[in-house]
Amino acid sequence: MLKILWVEDEFSEQKKIAWFNKREVFVKTDFTEAKKAITSCLWQFDLIVLDINLENSEHSNEVKELAKQFKITEQEFLQESGMNLFLYLLEQGFPKEQIRFLTANADINISRIDELREAYKQGDDDFSNKILETIKNDLSDETVIKCSELIESEDIEGLCQYLENHFNNLNDGNYKNTYNRFCEAYRRCRIEPPKEINKSLNEAKQYLGDWLENYEKIIIWF
């Protein structure tokens, strides 16, 4: 059976059941406690699910020291501290593909594009078309025409990159969500960004469930 570590500072049993059903989930609701689990008993877990904003965590001595180190307030640190946990996981050698962010701190259109890219990779044309129809609702006629040209030429990566640039340009000069800002930093360093599931998407529970089921099949196989 999968053993899942879920870091979520607004935890409730109802949320746990809604997101994970009856799976075995170990919950940490505090940044410091989550970091302790990562550094002391990481071997217990098969998958890690992280929230980015852990602002309801205790302002522990460790949080105070880290905030001071990065010259930000304790609250500012905690609002993005899920990303710190992600980096700690990588430092411990935990596989990146076995980590997901479950967060609302991501641009919903960029999240849809990530799912579109994954759907094309899996060869799921029906799901790809469904995502595309949703994305097109937020596009001008001119942009839709350009997307159609890229689809006809079967340049799927070009399509996804074009859409990403389109929505990122709309955000220029405006506030960008934490996840998207970190992704930009990763790509500048030529590193594949961490994957996320946007809580705001209607299909979010399906996406999380599909990811969990894929690993359950692997465990059964072995």
Which ranges in 9-155 belong to alpha helices (H)? 13-20, 31-40, 61-69, 74-79, 81-91, 108-122, 125-136, 141-152
Q: Residues spanned by CATH 3.40.50.2300 within the chain? A: 3-106+195-221
Domain 3-106+195-221 in CATH 3.30.470.10? The answer is no
Helix (H) or strand (E) holding 157, with range, is helix 156-171
86-99 pLDDT, tens digit per residue, is: 999 999 999 999 99
81-140 pLDDT, tens digit per residue, is: 999 999 999 999 999 999 999 998 888 888 888 888 888 887 888 888 888 888 887 788
**Range among 46-60, 102-116, 174-188 with highest mean pLDDT value:** 46-60
Prediction pTM value: 0.82
Confidence of residue 175 (pLDDT cuts 50, 70, 90): low
The pLDDT, as a whole number, for residue 176 is 62
